[in-house]
Amino acid sequence: MTIVEPVATRTTPAALIGVPPLPQCEVSVIVPAKDEAQTIVTTLTALANQTCLDGQPLNPRTYEIIVLANNCSDESATIARQFAQQHPDLVLHVAEVTLPPDLAYIGHVRKMLMDEAALRLMSVGRSRGVIASTDGDTIASPTWIAAILHEIGSGVDAVGGRILTDRHSRQALHPQAKSHFLQEVGYRSLVAQVEFRLDPDPYDPLPRHYQHYGASLAVTAEMYAKAGGIPPVRTPEDEAFYQSLLRVDARFRHSPLVQVTTSARVSGRSPVGLAAQLRNWTELSAGSTLKVAPAAAIVGWFRSRHKLRSIWQQLLFDSKISVDEVEPLASQLGVSAHWLFDELFKDLTFGKLVDRVTQHQQHHYLSRWQPIDAMAAIRELRQYLSTLNHHPG
């Protein structure tokens, strides 16, 4: 079943798609496309060839794809329509919009798509139906949708998939950009391990990663609504949405089973995305090093957050606590003990409490430490994890 939407010039359409979803639709895949004529066929081919975890073909009636070509100066929309005509068994919707300059940014476009997907899933009674986000230059693994459904079926509300870069484009990077990129991946992967060891989340166990970005991000329709949808920010809208999920204590999984591959290009659309970061690293002066927070800062933050979580959980069961008992933690966090004591007795989710603490700190916790070279921090984190493995207590 192929649905091709007419070209439209509009700012905030009431609906992108004029026909309802199939009753058996469990997943609505959204694909923003801005001048992706060279990559959109590869993206759609991967989505058309999805399989179950056992390798059997995934029923194409259980998911739909919504491509939104926005403000394109190339043939992205035409190519997507041609693909739709060539794959009549695929439930593929192709829409095109021309947005005014103040709305023509990825945050607004992804919000349009995810809002649409949420409404469509709710319209067929799929409150636990899944909105799955990717990009027009990204290749989903064959089991991408099935792995997302597996994680959601395990009880989580949202999933961040692992985003890999293709080897060819990565090898073509400037040596300095490639070095910084690999160091950041290694550093943030170690931070994710330390986070679980010091402040474990039962819904996000090891092995896990650190990514929760629009190229591979999924959320149930009900949790999307509870979190308030994509916040009205220009970019990075995916990070802002992740923070919104944390504030409502969504059960979030950084799943290594859910994987996509994207290009390590330096000419991206977003001013703060991967492409922009790679371009910035390329343009740094020769010999520049990547600076990050040292292991002591990371360890201190997760230990403090875990203590805060313990106190918050303690109060959920009507346990008593005094200002004096809060004082050591408040000092570590850089907030007033009386202020923290009052916040603990408000009707806050834990995520909202952490957000309030972070906003109230005179200086953000991690900013109290002088950044160090990433390679030195990586060595520190590896040594710390080794110590934990030998002395788990």
Domain chopping of the chain, boundaries: 2-287, 292-390
Q: Say how far residue 313 (Cα) sits from the centre of its chain.
A: 27
C-beta atoms surrounding 238 within 10 Å: 24
383 token code pair: 């040594």
274 near 173, Cβ under 8 Å?
no
Taking the C-alpha atoms of residue 299 and residue 195, their distance in angstroms, rounded to an integer, is 8
pTM, 2 dp: 0.91
Average pLDDT on 208-214 reads 96
Position 392 scores a pLDDT of 62
SS3 content of the chain, % helix, strand, coil (to 5): 45, 15, 35
By the 10 Å C-beta count (0-12 exposed, 13-18 middle, 19+ buried), 18 is classed as exposed
Position 268 scores a pLDDT of 57
Confidence of residue 317 (pLDDT cuts 50, 70, 90): confident
Q: Choose between 47 and 367: higher pLDDT.
A: 47
Confidence of residue 384 (pLDDT cuts 50, 70, 90): very high
Question: Domain 2-287 carries which CATH code?
Answer: 3.90.550.10
Position 364 scores a pLDDT of 75
Task: List residues bridging with 131 in a β-sheet.
Answer: 28, 219
Position 319 scores a pLDDT of 80
93 near 66, Cβ under 8 Å?
yes
Position 8 scores a pLDDT of 37
State pLDDT tens for residues 264-294.
Answer: 654 555 555 666 666 676 666 567 889 999 9
359 token code pair: 């906003």
Position 366 scores a pLDDT of 79
State pLDDT tens for residues 140-179.
Answer: 999 999 999 999 999 999 999 999 988 887 777 777 778 8
Position 9 scores a pLDDT of 34
204 near 192, Cβ under 8 Å?
no
Confidence of residue 12 (pLDDT cuts 50, 70, 90): very low
Confidence of residue 320 (pLDDT cuts 50, 70, 90): confident
| Tokens 């192709």, residue located | 94
Position 88 scores a pLDDT of 95
Average pLDDT on 110-127 reads 97
Let me know how many helices (H) and strands (E) the chain has, helices first. 14, 11
What percent of the chain clears pLDDT 70, i.e. is strictly above it? 90
- Residue 13 in this model has a pLDDT that exceeds 60: no
Q: How far apart are the first and last CA of the chain?
A: 57
Position 61 scores a pLDDT of 96
284 contacts: CB under 8 Å, gap ≥ 6: 176, 180
